[in-house]
Chains A and B, each alone.
Chain A
Amino acid sequence: MDIPREKLIKMYESIVLSRHLQKKILELNETTKDFSGGIHLRVGEEAPAAAIYATILEDDYVGGHLGGENFACSKGVPLGPFLANMMGRQVPVENRDGAGKARPAPKVALKAPTSGALGDAQCSNMGIAFAAKLSGLQRVVVSVFGDGTAARGPLHECMNLAGLWKLPVVFVCINNQYGISTRVSQSCTTENIAERATAYGMSGLTVDGNDVLACYEAIFDAVKLTRAGECPRMVEAKTYRLSPHCYKTYHGEQGYYEADPEPYRTKEEVELAWQAEPLGRYRETLLGMGVLTQADVERCDLEAKTKVEEAASFAIRLPYVDSANWLANASA
């Protein structure tokens, strides 16, 4: 597939940025202790997110993902407010809703609600897809979920409905092999989650989720065909969660925001998986293709580091969200 050079570089930059951001978050967690609810990094899973945002148009909608760093960096949201929200700081009004110095808030600001339960956001995504179809929009909805969520009832209802009504949805399953501690073989009856697609009247494709180009190709085709009316579709990206499920944040005594000591997998397994991780492979590929030079690689690394530093200093200077403040705005 002939991928434009700008897109190749954009995907590379977003993955590098995401890695630096995730590292920075861990540092900030140790120094500021501002974070709440555990830190859930997803190193190793950057490729599908990069591919999605390199493919979709501005009017399209991506939903169901848990707002992680991979998606933020691939989407290009201003990282300062992103970090500030994570650190419990008050974001100034002019920086909210994805607005930044360089750009206003995006036009498609569909504020759809979701609960914290996995599989519920996908139901809301079906509403957006159906509304788009009713309104005659050319919008494609990319509904992202993981291998753990693939066991949830509401998701299956969504796939069934999307298949019935031919909703313009691309279901992207980021199969990182683990829920928290549950291997996918303990939660999924089939070898590939994409096999379930045919049960719902749609076509499904499994790709190597650590191969940025393969992800791009699969998602590009899926989005293109969906927009042309051959929808819904499913793409399963098989990748690996190199991070532990979560890192500890410093408030609250115990519970799920304790660190994940990973007793369910061996260090050897993780080390082996590092050898197949997406960034290194992609870098080699791009160097081989001549799209990047070594100087580009270093420049990109430096730019990412700078961006992340700027975001961190932006966030740290902001005041904390005052609990009284929040309630005054929130009460019915």
Chain B
Amino acid sequence: MSTQPIGWPTHQREGWLGRLEAGNPNERGEYGDTPCLNETMTLERRATVRQIEYRDAINEAMAEEMERDPKVILYGLDVGALGGLHGVTRGLLDRFGKTRVMDMPISEEVIAGMSGGMAASGYRPIVELMFAGLIGSCFSQLFYTLGFHKDACPNLPIVVRLPMGSEGGGDNALHVHCPESLLMHAPYLKVVAPSNPYDAKGLLKTAIRGNSPVMFMEHKGLYHSTGPVPSEEYLVPFGEALVKRPGNDVTLVSYSAMVSKCVSAADTLHREGIEAEVIDLRTLVPLDEQTIINSVKKTGRLVIVHEAMGRSGPAAEIACVVAEKGFGYLRAPIRRVTAPNSGVRPDFRVEKGRLPQAKDIHSAAMSLIAKDWPQATDRGFERIR
């Protein structure tokens, strides 16, 4: 695998979200803006790799799938003429017309619930809700109607796109909420949360081609982040996490916007002689338990990071899975770095303090490494190694 950056722009966008993209280390051992480690993005395989925005990667995925299959249709608030509140669906109305790209009234219940009937009638709806927090308005539809009926209705090729997360602008609670853990709790919903444009496009294409309801948690704050995306077609499978950066000392598991923060924290740890392994989950349901367990087997220390609130967040589920299936590998307690269990003050100055930053992840990792945790052998039984 080449370690030369292949014509990427020399500057990288560094907003308050921190540096973006990871892959091979530079001469200082830091992971910067080169492609991901596990991705087979060899020069030979790619015709053209472009640096495009996350939101445009999503746009491309939809455009390509709508071109490929006339049954794919898109609807939601302001997706047509406006091109989406954040411009994610720009150009789709002109290209596919108003019978395939439809603006809806502010009726989330019927927006979400209609997808079931459309899927039963042979269409493949992509439903866009304006904010992920609006699942509150149509929770029964998403959770009960779509999430419980795989036995009765095995084919429900529905994608619900849910823009979540903080953009740094100081929005209020509903507009920045990351409700993925609520949706994970339905038996048959898939929950997908890409952290970069490459994964966003590949995961969305997989979602559209699949036959089950997928909750596509796109992060609003990442919409303007850029990353390498080949112009050739590719899909990203569900249930496969990515090791963004290898390491032997501590495992940092995350998804969506926090992945880049984990990478930044790992760089800081590297300068202190500690090698952190950063895992990008990419999909929460199905969860790639094996990659996490393999990593914990190596490092013995786990920090789980997400933007959602801590209590009953996805970290709780992941931690329990590791405690159940990888207990013998743990050398220290599991830590999670999340937003606090509190409300949201709609103030951009306050927002940064509420959300996990690289320094919080760094502290959590250090707390697991620095201290001598009593090991299984100390407690009088064999450690499985």
Query: Which chain A residues have a beta carbon within 8 Å of chain B's beta carbons?
Result: 63, 110-117, 119-120, 122-132, 134-135, 153-154, 157-158, 160-161, 164, 329-330, 332
CA distance in complex: A179, B129 (Å): 32
Closest to B112 in A: A123
Question: How far, in angstroms, from A259 to B154 measured CA to CA in the complex?
Answer: 35
- For A112, the chain B residues whose CB sits under 8 A away are 116-117, 119-121, 153
Binds A, one of B20-28, B137-145, B227-235, B302-310: B137-145
Nearest CB in chain B: distance from A137 CB, A: 9
- A113 and B146 in contact, given A126-B110, A153-B109, A160-B107 (Cβ under 8 angstroms): yes
> Could you say which of A111, A120, A153, A330 contacts B145, with CB atoms under 8 Å apart?
A120
Which of the residues A122, A131, A329 comes within 8 Å of B118, measured between beta carbons? A131
Asked if B153 and A134 sit within 8 Å, CB to CB, the answer is no
B123 within 8 A of A: yes
Contacts A113-B153, A113-B156 given; indicate if A123 touches B122 (C-beta within 8 A): no
Give A57 to B98 CA distance when docked, in angstroms: 30
| CB <8 Å contact, A117 and B114 | no
B113 at the interface (CB under 8 A from A): yes
Q: Which residues of B contact A (CB under 8 A)?
A: 73, 99, 104-105, 107-110, 112-123, 125, 140-141, 143-146, 148-156, 187-188
Are the C-beta atoms of B110 and A157 separated by less than 8 Å?
A: yes
> In the bound complex, do residue B99 and residue A127 qualify as a contact, i.e. CB atoms below 8 Å apart?
no
Q: How far is the CA of A122 from the CA of B112 in the complex (A)?
A: 12
State how many angstroms separate the Cβ of A142 from the closest Cβ of chain B: 13
User: Are the CB atoms of A115 and B145 closer together than 8 Å?
Assistant: yes
Residue of B nearest to A116 (CB): B144
Q: Are A124 and B117 also in contact (CB < 8 A) when A113-B145, A113-B153, A114-B145 are?
A: yes
Closest to A119 in B: B109
Contacts A123-B112, A330-B151 known; list 9 others, CB within 8 Å: A111-B155, A113-B145, A113-B153, A115-B141, A115-B143, A123-B110, A127-B125, A131-B117, A131-B121
12 sampled A-B residue pairs with Cβ under 8 A: A111-B155, A113-B149, A114-B149, A117-B140, A120-B145, A127-B114, A127-B121, A127-B125, A131-B123, A161-B107, A330-B150, A332-B150
Cα(A161)–Cα(B154), bound, Å? 27
Chain A min CB distance to B109 (Å): 4
How far does the alpha carbon of A222 sit from the alpha carbon of B109 in the complex, in Å?
A: 26
A154 touches B109 (CB 8 A): yes
Give A114 to B117 CA distance when docked, in angstroms.
9
Q: Does A126 contact B114, Cβ atoms closer than 8 Å?
A: yes
Name the CB-closest residue of A to B73.
A134
Given contacts A116-B144, A154-B113, contact A127 B118 (CB under 8 A): yes
Q: Which residues of B contact A119 (CB under 8 A)?
A: 109
CA A116 to CA B149, docked complex, whole Å: 11
CB distance from B73 to the nearest CB of A (A): 8
Contacting residues, chain B, for A161 (C-beta < 8 A): 104-105, 107, 110, 114
For A131, the chain B residues whose CB sits under 8 A away are: 117-118, 120-123
A157 to B113, CA, bound (A): 11
Q: Is the contact region of chain A dominated by helix, strand, or loop, or is it mixed?
A: helix
Q: Cβ of B152: which chain A residues have Cβ within 8 Å of it?
A: 111, 113
Given contacts A160-B105, A161-B110, contact A114 B116 (CB under 8 A): yes
B113 adjacent to A127 (CB under 8 Å): yes
User: Taking the nearest CB of chain A, how far is it from the CB of B305, in angstroms?
Assistant: 26
Tally of contacts, chain A with chain B, CB under 8 A: 121
Judge whether B109 and A128 touch: CB under 8 Å: no
CB-CB under 8 A from B143, the residues of chain A are: 115
Q: Which residue of B lies closest to A114 (CB)?
A: B145
Task: Give the nearest-CB partner of B285 in chain A.
Answer: A332
Chain B: minimal CB distance from A202 (Å): 15
In Å, the complex CA distance between A329 and B153 comes to 13
Pairwise interchain contact B144-A128, C-beta atoms closer than 8 A: no
B residues in contact with A128, CB < 8 Å: 117-118, 120-121
Closest CB in chain A relative to B54 CB, distance in Å: 29
Contacts A113-B145, A115-B141 known; A124 to B113 CB distance under 8 Å? yes
> CB-CB < 8 A to A329: which residues of B?
151
Given A112-B153, A113-B152, A330-B151, do A124 and B116 touch, yes or no (CB 8 Å)? yes
B112:A134 contact, CB within 8 angstroms: no
Contacts of B110 in A (CB 8 A): 123, 126, 154, 157-158, 160-161
Interface core residue of B120, B123, B188 (most chain A CB under 10 Å) = B120
- Select one of A115, A129, A154 contacting B148, CB under 8 A: A115
Contacts of A157 in B (CB 8 A): 105, 107-110
Q: Which of A110, A123, A161 has the most CB of B within 10 A?
A: A123
Residues of B within 8 A of A111 (CB): 120, 152-155
Q: With a CB–CB cut-off of 8 A, which chain B residues contact A120? A: 109, 113, 140-141, 144-145
Cβ-closest chain A residue relative to B188: A332
Q: Measured between C-beta atoms, what is the minimum distance from A125 to chain B in Å?
A: 6
Contact of A123 among B114, B123, B156 (CB under 8 A): B114
- What residue in chain A is nearest B149 (Cβ atoms)? A113
Shortest CB-to-CB span from A284 to chain B, Å, is 40
Distance of A168 Cα from B146 Cα, bound (Å)? 24
Residues of A within 8 A of B113 (CB): 120, 122-124, 126-127, 154
Contacts of B146 in A (CB 8 A): 113
How far does the alpha carbon of A288 sit from the alpha carbon of B167 in the complex, in Å? Answer: 74
Residue with the greatest number of chain B CB neighbours at <10 A, chosen from A124, A135, A160: A124
Complex: chain B residue closest to A139, CB-CB: B121
Q: 5 closest Cβ contacts across the A-B interface?
A: A123-B113, A127-B117, A115-B144, A131-B121, A127-B114
- Shortest Cβ gap from B149 to chain A (Å): 4
Contacts of B73 on A, CB cut-off 8 Å? 134
Rounded to whole Å, the gap between the CB of B68 and the closest CB of chain A is 18
Q: How far is the CB of A80 from chain B (nearest CB, A)?
A: 20
Q: A127-B116, A131-B117 are in contact. Are A164 and B150 (CB under 8 A)?
A: no
Q: Measured between alpha carbons, how far is A153 from B105 in the docked complex, in Å? A: 14
Chain A residues with CB under 8 Å of B156's CB are 113
Query: Hey, which chain A residues are within 8 Å of B155, CB to CB?
Result: 111
A126–B109 CA distance with the chains assembled, in angstroms: 11
Residues of A within 8 A of B117 (CB): 63, 110, 112, 123-131
In the bound complex, CA of A127 to CA of B107 (Å): 13
A160 CA to B108 CA, complexed, in Å? 12
A115 to B156, CA, bound (A): 14
